């Protein structure tokens, strides 16, 4: 199985960002993982922290499950390129460029792809920056 691309110039020029149409939110719960309705929560991510579980799911699903104390309504931009989990500098480069445009990022790296969550309302700006980076714009 391929472990993905590690060359940063190649990753940047082929990242091919894709904007998901849904609004996502971050939430936390102290409930044990095995007690959650994962089949209907459809979490994009689950991460165990000492304070509780962090979940990312859509705003609509969170509200349907009465998780009204969510935070960070955001949009997900997935990078189509298969990046290696060992690639050095990709996320730093992207985050730095988006930060220079005043766009906060929460990044989740999956086995195959990186996913950048940006504040709702800034997704068009973020896509513009990422496409510009793909095209070699400084």
pLDDT digits (tens, 9 = 90+) for 44-73: 999 999 999 999 999 999 999 999 999 999
- The confidence band for 137, taking pLDDT boundaries of 50, 70 and 90, is confident
| Strands, E assignment, the chain | 17-29, 45-49, 52-58, 71-79, 106-109, 114-119
Whether 138 shows a pLDDT value over 90: the answer reads no
Q: Which domains does the chain have, with CATH numbers?
A: 8-135 (3.30.2130.10)
Instruction: Render the burial of 83-106: b for 16+ CB within 10 Å, e for the rest.
Output: bbeebeebbeebbebbeeeebebb
Strands of the sheet containing 17-29, edge to edge, are: 45-49, 52-58, 17-29, 71-79, 114-119, 106-109
Instruction: Summarize pLDDT for 21-46 with one digit per residue, the tens.
Output: 999 999 999 988 999 999 999 999 99
> In the prediction, which pLDDT does 136 show?
87
Contact between 40 and 62 under an 8 Å Cβ cutoff? The reply is no
| pTM for this predicted structure | 0.93
CA dihedral 40, 43, 46, 51 (to 10 degrees): -70
Whether 124 shows a pLDDT value over 80: the answer reads yes
């Amino acid at each position: 199985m391929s472990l993905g691309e590690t060359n940063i110039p190649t990753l940047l020029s082929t990242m091919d960002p894709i904007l998901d149409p849904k609004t996502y939110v971050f939430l936390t719960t102290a409930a044990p993982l095995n007690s959650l309705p994962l089949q209907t929560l459809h979490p994009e991510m689950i991460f165990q922290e000492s304070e509780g579980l962090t979940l990312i799911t859509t705003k609509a699903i969170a509200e349907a499950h009465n998780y009204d104390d969510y935070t960070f309504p955001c949009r997900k931009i997935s990078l189509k390129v298969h990046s290696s989990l060992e690639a050095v500098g990709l996320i730093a480069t992207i985050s730095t460029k988006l930060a220079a445009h005043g766009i906060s990022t929460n990044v989740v790296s999956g086995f195959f792809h990186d996913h950048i969550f940006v504040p709702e309302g800034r997704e068009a700006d973020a896509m513009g920056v990422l496409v510009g980076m793909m095209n070699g714009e400084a």
